[in-house]
Chain A
Amino acid sequence: MQGVKKIVKTILLILLASLFVFPLLWMISSSMKPEESIYQDLDSIQALLPSFEVSQWLTSYSELFARFDILGYLFNSILYAAIVTFGSIFINGMAGYAFAKFQFFGKNLLFSLLLAMLIVPVETVVITQFTIIHNLGLVNSRLAVVLPMIANAFFIYLFRNFFIAVPNSIIESARIEGASNWSIFWRIMMPMSKPAIATVGTLSFIASWNDYIWPLMILTDGDKFPLQVAITNINSTQPVFTNQIMAILTISTIPLIIVYIFAQKYLLQGLGSSGTGSK
């Protein structure tokens, strides 16, 4: 009796897990079989398995690469994500340092203003952001894709909290040795804040990689599109082949899988980025 109960329980758990993974499996397996097999396999478990002939696995990928400049889109996505990630670590880190370790006139006011900006829902002001980019003459430039994503009030706040914990005595002794503020920031503060750097870096990378609405608005040249915009573009370019669509979806997901595997322990830190920000 106990054994039967255990088996039923296990089956239910497997069913529940399948509910979460089957779309991902279908996506990957459909990208690895001929177009007609996708629809022939729908009513059997074979829907979640790639083609039985290994030689067919990469056919849809090579067709996709022949039709579209996938490497170009991949390059664009990586370029934007890299600039946003490093820019964000650097610029928000610098501002966080200023808020944590300097006394200056208007600091509290500026800091309150910064916290108030956490409330502004960025997504609602994209139209006005667009008019500003338009006035700056930056429409359809790569610069316009990354610029608004770099500075982030929450990340400044996060860095500040980390930097405050660095003992002043360390900074003092460095200063007595003749270190400038710049080298204190670069040689002491940043190396002591690796978890903050990892958190901000991971979250910035994911945000940039997944960004869709903004590059869609700002870019008109197809050769500047990041992958996310390219996906919907390819999905509306006739003829549409399901296996090729699943291939591009898979390609654009792989880098994120890698990031999530390596940065999993920093993910939860980002809670406040869309949430309370209070700790």
Chain B
Amino acid sequence: MEATNQYADRNKKSKFSLHALNFHLQPLYFMLPAIILLGVFLFLPAILTIYYAFTDYYLLTPDQREFVGFSNFVELFTDPVFMKSLQNIAVFVVCIIIVQVGTALGLALLINKNRKGNIFLKIAFFSPVVMSLVVVSVLWLYLLNPADGLINSILQAVGIDAQPFLTSPKQAIYVIVFVSAWQGAGYQMLIFLAGLQNISREVYEAAKIDGANRWQSFLHITLPLLRPTTTLIIFTTLIAAFKLIIQPMIMTQGGPLNSTMTPIYYIFQTGFTDRLVGYASAMTVVFGVLIAIVSFLQRKLAKEDI
């Protein structure tokens, strides 16, 4: 009883509505752990990276760093490896969107039909998703071994010459596209499937009565109604694809001839392996702004669509 009275008293004095706080500091206690962690490990690094980008910070001698103005930025635009990495990631992003999203949509359409054994197909298509990128990369490194890998022995069995795969500057980036799409398509298939199942059967039946064939109803019903799902998937793939690092790191070390070097991997090598934090930060700023712009556009477009 006493507690109720106390509460009523306090509430009378408070300017806030009933569901509002009774102690002004309480929300702070609840947020404090998250705010501190996000502040120290996300917000602060983002700010510091911008600051470091204008210094010659060397990892082992942080106290001797000096302000160097825009010289890191001038350097990076003439750095052939960084330029090559931007070119590679552009190729990767475009290819992965076409291959992975296309495959995922195809698989979802295949499974969406009522057929015996669909559950097995679904499990099969999804199975690569359960492997981590490290596992996938190491596994395919063995499968794609030019000398005694399983893939080349299958190719030879059907009469195709053995391929160099990851050891070829021409093939390596496309092999990484293939492996990444193979790993990720199953997850996106599930999202497409959820989207497909939201489209009511009646729409298709109505179209059928109007004389539409299967291709026409796919083009004029399925695709337009699936647009929000597709937009979402394309942009999530896009953002994730920009950050490609583990596959080239494990499978090719960025080679051969930097043909699979990616911006994030190059930043890692420069900042961590070569310890040039200042220069790596400048590249981070340039590349980070690029990702942020794409990410921002995504939000705008997705809002219109969903």
Chain A residues within CB distance 8 Å of chain B: 13, 16-21, 23-24, 26-27, 39, 42-43, 47, 91-92, 94-95, 97-99, 101-104, 107, 110, 113-114, 117, 119-132, 134-135, 147-148, 150-151, 153, 156, 168, 171-172, 175-178, 181, 185, 209-210, 212-213, 217, 228, 231-232, 235, 242, 245-246, 249, 252-253, 256-257, 260, 267-268, 271, 274-279
Contact = CB atoms under 8 A, between A and B. Distances in A.
Given A20-B125, A249-B135, A271 B34 contact: no
A39 to B, nearest CB: 6
Interface string B156-200: 110000000000000000000000001000110011001000000
B236 interface: yes
Interface of B: 3-4, 7, 16-24, 26-28, 30-31, 33-38, 40-46, 48-49, 52, 57, 59, 62, 110, 117, 120-121, 124-135, 138-140, 142-143, 148, 150, 153, 156-157, 182, 186-187, 190-191, 194, 232, 235-236, 239-240, 242-243, 245-246, 249-250, 264, 267-268, 271-272, 277, 280-281, 284, 287-288, 291-292, 295-296, 298-299, 302-303, 306
Contact of B135 (A129, A253, A260): A253
A276 B295 CA distance: 8
A39 B35 CA distance: 54
Contact of B134 (A94, A210, A278): A210
25 contacts: A13-B110, A23-B140, A92-B34, A95-B35, A98-B30, A99-B31, A103-B20, A117-B38, A120-B288, A121-B288, A123-B264, A124-B284, A127-B271, A127-B272, A130-B271, A131-B277, A134-B59, A148-B41, A151-B42, A181-B21, A181-B30, A209-B132, A210-B133, A235-B138, A268-B194
A132 B41 contact: yes
Contacts of B142: 242, 245-246
B49 to A, nearest CB: 5
Contacts of A135: 62
Contact of A43 (B21, B120, B157): B157
Nearest to A135: B62
B232 A275 contact: yes
B139 A23 contact: yes
Contact of B239 (A18, A43, A210, A274): A274
Contact of A178 (B4, B37, B277): B4
Contacts of A102: 20-21, 26-27, 30
A95 B31 contact: yes
B134 A231 contact: yes
B19 A260 contact: no
Contacts of A129: 41, 45
A171 B17 CA distance: 13
B131 A256 contact: yes
A274 B30 contact: no
B34 A217 contact: no
A148 B39 CA distance: 10
B284 to A, nearest CB: 5
B243 A121 contact: yes
B239 A121 contact: yes
Given A117-B43, A256-B130, A39 B246 contact: no
Nearest to B51: A128
Contact of B306 (A125, A253, A276): A276
Contacts of B194: 268
A135 to B, nearest CB: 8
A47 B150 contact: yes
A148 B243 CA distance: 18
Contacts of A181: 21-23, 26, 30
Enumerate the 9 nearest inter-chain pairs by beta-carbon distance, A residue then B residue, closest first: A127-B271, A151-B37, A178-B3, A95-B34, A275-B236, A17-B124, A102-B27, A148-B41, A128-B45
Nearest to A228: B134
Nearest to B122: A17
A247 B243 CA distance: 29
A53 to B, nearest CB: 22
B100 to A, nearest CB: 13
A131 B62 contact: yes
B34 A278 contact: no
A178 to B, nearest CB: 4
A132 B121 contact: no
A130 B243 contact: no
Contacts of A120: 42, 46, 288, 292
A246 B40 CA distance: 38
A134 B40 CA distance: 13
Contact of B48 (A123, A128, A252): A128
Contacts of B243: 121, 123-124
Contacts of A124: 49, 243, 264, 267, 284, 287-288, 291
A27 B139 contact: yes
A268 B190 contact: yes
A27 to B, nearest CB: 5
Contacts of B7: 175-176, 178
Given A121-B239, A260-B129, A278-B306, A132 B295 contact: no
B30 A253 contact: no
A217 B267 CA distance: 13
Nearest to A131: B277
